Amino acid sequence: MCLAIPMKVSAIKGFNATCEAKGVSREVSLHLVQGLEVKVGDYVMVHVGYALQVITYDEAQVTWEMLDQVIAYDA
């Protein structure tokens, strides 16, 4: 099973972006979303260091809520 995490783009330099989620910052490759216009402030789904798609703020929030429920259930 694969898991992608929604993250907010905070900086872009070439095909790399600094993305943040829940206090964690990561360098993320934008190579897989080259055809899309990714801007600072956008949300992306990230899997193993690659942005897979651009999503809306609402989609990011719903995904975080579901992930929080999974974490709470497992505890």
pLDDT in tens, 50-61: 999 999 999 999
The whole-number pLDDT of residue 70 equals 86
Q: Where are the extended beta strands (E) located within 1-75?
A: 5-13, 16-21, 24-29, 43-47, 50-55
| CA atoms of 28 and 19, how far apart (whole Å) | 7
pTM: 0.90
pLDDT in the model for residue 1:
65
For range 26-36, the mean pLDDT: 95
- C-alpha–C-alpha distance, residues 19 and 32, integer Å: 15
Nearest to 35 by CA among 17, 13, 52: 52
